[in-house]
């Protein structure tokens, strides 16, 4: 691996910079050189109202997309939500969606089972990265990792959301949902190039170019290109990323259309794997090993993970009348993965490990769409905001796998390179994966928000009817082995009272939905019984405050999730319940002039048969600060503290991973150089180089450990032409 930039991307960037002067934004004269970046307002969807404006401090927005309800101001909706802006993403030099969500006190980053997929744990429940939505549509984003440069906003909606978003097709999203919004061309021309380097070293080059055309600037195009290549701060690990995306939009007086197409290729070599502490199913013999050095690598040089995705969307909105708007949206994705992974199991307290091998190829084809209509009418003193929508989702998965039948010996604390164990157990042809799964979901939803008392009282009532179909096929023969086709109706009710312009109080009841199990096991009487979708029920009380330049949210919540199990001689779909309840608070804005803050705290109490859930810390908090240094215009100092409490590492609660706290610091300086605006950024993540187990599990029933990243230095320079 190396940090050079491929010639095609270099040529593209140089070509953009060499564009004619008429196409480029004109630089300011030297005497008028800017001292601050131009504030840019852009709409990332095809809606008439566009994105909600940034809040004071510009790190978060005043609201965001609430599924079927559309873009909502934070003080008008009975949900807890935070929308992180592109300005925050760039200033923090975030590489992935996981990096952005390190700012959120209700979210913690985990990892998928057996691979390097990012998983986001919200209120103690996972959200898989392939269950993120892209401008409201599921399944269109790369499955394991998404570069942060692609998006304009990262929106976190906390709590179950089967009504507002429909059920996530991957079976997660019971603690919340994550939606990302694509970039659009703002009114001002944009030509920005960023060069950077990260500990490893790893090189970075990005271009962001946007133009609007026509006498009324009705047509916009925005291009994003990114290249990362080189080693990471982890010993021997290397990463390569290529991203190219184009977003376009057009609008007239009554019609708005937007479209996006993107390509991302992500490659890992010798990446550090998770650590299994209970490979053979003997929980009494399991233990939590001592934490290795943060920059150590217990992986192997023969490991690789390659992911390549092509995706696109189109969305259109039509004003049928002054108060009535209809919309349609559709998207497709083709994703290909190739993995050769090392499984690491710790065999004793001295650090002896057994290393296995797992290889597979996977290809996903996804098509999704939605249509709806939104209108407003008044009956007496009550205004009704009515909406109806229909959603369709289809995915087809090709897959195969191969596993080693013997393990090789190694050491967690002194890992040495070794040959790859021979593959001896195969599921399908490694060179020609078969179709092994198909998923179809469809739903219709209706909602009415009743606005009363001069907009001080808002009652939202809604219902969604959801159908989930799933089919499984044998890896070797291609014959169908499983079928699932069940439906469920999901209600929602939310009441919001505006006690004043600065304070909103709300209460919400909502439900989450995932596919039910099929009864299986030894000596059970109902073998093969297919259960209806499982319903997670949640109640929430909250308060939102907005003091103009400083705001936040406090929420108390409780959710109950069914857990399947065997009772007597029967497999029961809701034999037990997992109960997650807690309180969370978030804050954001400008605490004082030139002092921006972002963070909050979460307390979570989980109960699974009188035990705490695996990988669900009771306490977690974040505090981020940006300070504009007085007397030095353009200079800002930054810092962030992240704390995560102890986590249980097994269902019996006899194993526990210690709490951890990390400190990130940085600086940013903007100045004019040769009539161009330049922004210099530097960050040090995990300043103290803390060694810690970042997460436990991330996949239901699993308790593997993921080691936190070491001290990492990132520096970059952005030039606006």
Task: State yes or no: pLDDT of 38 exceeds 80.
Answer: no
C-alpha closest to that of 131 among 115, 153, 112, 114? 112
Query: Average pLDDT of the chain?
Result: 92
State how far the alpha carbon of 246 is from the alpha carbons of 22, 40, 86, 225, in Å: 21, 18, 16, 9
pLDDT at 49: 76
Mean pLDDT confidence for 478-501:
96
pLDDT digits (tens, 9 = 90+) for 665-716: 999 999 999 999 999 999 999 999 999 999 999 988 899 999 999 999 999 9
pLDDT at 24: 32
Task: State yes or no: pLDDT of 7 exceeds 90.
Answer: no
Main-chain dihedrals φ then ψ at residue 221, nearest 5 degrees: -135, 135
For β-strands 133-134 and 176-182, DSSP reports them as parallel
pLDDT at 29: 35
pLDDT digits (tens, 9 = 90+) for 577-634: 999 999 999 999 999 999 999 999 999 999 999 999 999 999 999 999 999 999 999 9
CA distance 360 to 427: 9
Up-side HSE of residue 271: CA atoms within 13 Å toward CB? 20
Vertex 708 angle, CA 704 and 709, to 5°: 140
Q: Which helix (H) or strand (E) holds 282?
A: none
Mapping DSSP to helix (H, G, I), strand (E, B) and coil, where does residue 466 land?
Answer: strand
pLDDT digits (tens, 9 = 90+) for 343-390: 999 999 999 999 999 999 999 999 999 999 999 999 999 999 999 999
Whether the Cβ atoms of residue 100 and residue 85 lie closer than 8 Å to each other:
no
Q: Where do the domains of the chain lie, and which CATH numbers do they carry?
A: 7-18+63-720 (2.40.170.20)
pLDDT at 522: 83
Identify whether 201 is preceded by a cis peptide bond (ω within 30 of 0): yes
DSSP 109: E
pLDDT at 284: 59
CA distance 451 to 460: 9
pLDDT at 5: 37
Up-side HSE of residue 275: CA atoms within 13 Å toward CB? 32
pLDDT digits (tens, 9 = 90+) for 59-103: 999 999 999 999 999 999 999 999 999 999 999 999 999 999 999
pLDDT digits (tens, 9 = 90+) for 227-256: 999 999 999 999 999 999 999 999 999 999
Task: State yes or no: pLDDT of 9 exceeds 70.
Answer: no
Contacts of residue 84, Cβ cutoff 8 Å, sequence gap at least 6: 59, 60, 61, 100, 101, 103, 104, 153, 154, 155, 156
State how far the alpha carbon of 621 is from the alpha carbons of 91, 302, 340, 549, in Å: 21, 38, 36, 22
Instruction: Say what the pTM is.
Output: 0.93
Task: State yes or no: pLDDT of 11 exceeds 50.
Answer: no
Task: State yes or no: pLDDT of 33 exceeds 70.
Answer: no
Task: State yes or no: pLDDT of 323 exceeds 50.
Answer: yes
If one counts every other C-beta atom within 10 angstroms of the C-beta of residue 607, the result is 14
pLDDT at 444: 98
CA distance 446 to 372: 10
Contacts of residue 285, Cβ cutoff 8 Å, sequence gap at least 6: none
Task: State yes or no: pLDDT of 283 exceeds 90.
Answer: no
Whether the Cβ atoms of residue 156 and residue 201 lie closer than 8 Å to each other:
no
Whether the Cβ atoms of residue 248 and residue 259 lie closer than 8 Å to each other:
yes
44: pLDDT confidence band, cut at 50, 70 and 90?
A: low
């Amino acid at each position: 691996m190396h940090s050079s930039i491929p010639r095609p991307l270099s040529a593209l960037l140089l070509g953009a910079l060499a564009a004619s002067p008429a196409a480029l934004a004109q630089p300011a004269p030297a005497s008028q050189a800017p001292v601050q970046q131009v504030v840019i307002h852009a709409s990332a969807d095809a809606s008439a109202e566009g994105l909600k404006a940034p809040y004071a401090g510009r790190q978060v927005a005043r609201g965001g997309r609430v599924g079927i309800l559309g873009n909502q101001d934070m003080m008008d909706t009975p949900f807890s939500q935070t929308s992180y802006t592109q300005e925050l993403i760039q200033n923090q030099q975030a590489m992935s969606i996981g990096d952005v969500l390190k700012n959120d006190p209700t979210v913690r980053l985990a990892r998928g089972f057996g691979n390097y997929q990012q998983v986001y744990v919200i209120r103690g429940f996972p959200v898989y990265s392939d269950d993120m939505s892209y401008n409201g549509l599921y399944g269109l984003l790369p499955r394991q990792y998404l570069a942060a440069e692609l998006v304009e906003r990262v929106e976190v909606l906390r709590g179950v959301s089967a009504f507002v978003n429909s059920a996530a097709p991957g079976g997660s999203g019971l603690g919340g949902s994550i939606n990302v919004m694509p970039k659009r061309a703002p009114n001002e021309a944009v030509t920005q190039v960023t060069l950077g380097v990260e500990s490893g070293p790893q090189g970075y080059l990005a271009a962001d170019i946007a133009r609007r055309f026509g006498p009324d600037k009705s047509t916009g195009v925005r291009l994003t290109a990114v290249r990362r290549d080189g080693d990471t701060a982890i010993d021997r690990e290397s990463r390569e990323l290529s991203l190219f995306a184009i977003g376009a939009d057009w609008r007239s007086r009554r019609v708005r259309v937007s479209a996006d197409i993107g390509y991302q290729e992500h490659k890992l070599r010798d990446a550090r794997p998770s650590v299994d502490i209970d490979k053979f199913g003997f929980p009494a013999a399991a233990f939590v090993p001592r934490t290795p050095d943060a920059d150590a690598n217990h992986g192997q040089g023969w490991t690789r993970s390659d992911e390549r995705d092509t995706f696109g969307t189109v969305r259109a909105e039509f004003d049928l009348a002054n108060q009535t708007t209809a919309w349609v949206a559709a998207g497709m994705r083709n994703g290909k993965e190739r993995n050769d992974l090392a499984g690491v199991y710790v065999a004793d307290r001295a650090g002896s490990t057994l290393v296995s091998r797992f290889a597979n190829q996977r290809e996903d084809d996804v098509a999704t769409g939605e249509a709806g209509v939104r209108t407003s009418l008044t009956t007496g003193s009550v205004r009704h905001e009515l909406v109806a929508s229909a959603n369709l989702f289809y995915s087809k998965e090709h897959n195969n796998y191969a596993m080693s039948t013997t393990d090789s010996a190694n050491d967690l604390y002194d890992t040495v390179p070794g040959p790859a164990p021979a593959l001896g157990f195969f599921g399908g042809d490694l060179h020609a994966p078969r179709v092994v799964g198909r998923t179809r979901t469809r739903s219709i939803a209706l909602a009415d928000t009743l606005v009363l008392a001069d907009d001080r009282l808002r009652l939202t009532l809604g219902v969604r009817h959801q159908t989930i179909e799933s089919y499984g096929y044998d890896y070797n023969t291609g014959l169908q082995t499983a079928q699932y086709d069940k439906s469920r109706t999901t209600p929602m009710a939310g009441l919001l009272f505006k006690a004043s312009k600065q304070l909103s109080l709300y209460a919400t009841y909502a439900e989450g939905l995932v596919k039910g199990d099929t009864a299986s096991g030894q000596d059970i009487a109902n073998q093969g019984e297919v259960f209806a979708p499982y319903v997670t029920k949640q109640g929430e009380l909250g308060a939102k405050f907005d003091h103009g330049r400083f705001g936040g949210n406090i929420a108390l919540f409780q959710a109950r999730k069914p857990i399947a199990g065997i009772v007597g001689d029967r497999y029961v779909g809701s034999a037990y319940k997992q109960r997650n309840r807690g309180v969370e608070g978030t804050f954001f804005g400008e605490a004082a002039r030139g002092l921006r803050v972002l963070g909050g705290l979460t307390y979570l109490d989980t109960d699974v048969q009188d035990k705490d859930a695996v990988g669900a810390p009771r306490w977690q908090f974040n505090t981020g600060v940006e300070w504009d240094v007085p007397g030095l215009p353009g200079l800002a100092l930054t810092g962030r503290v992240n704390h995560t409490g102890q986590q249980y590492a097994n269902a019996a609660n006899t194993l526990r991973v210690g709490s951890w706290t990390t400190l990130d610091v940085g600086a940013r300086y903007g100045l004019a150089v040769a009539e161009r605006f330049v922004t210099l950024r530097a960050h040090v993540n995990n300043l103290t180089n803390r060694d810690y187990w970042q997460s436990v599990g991330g996949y239901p029933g699993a308790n593997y450990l993921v080691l936190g990243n070491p001290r990492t230095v990132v520096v970059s320079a952005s030039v606006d032409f």
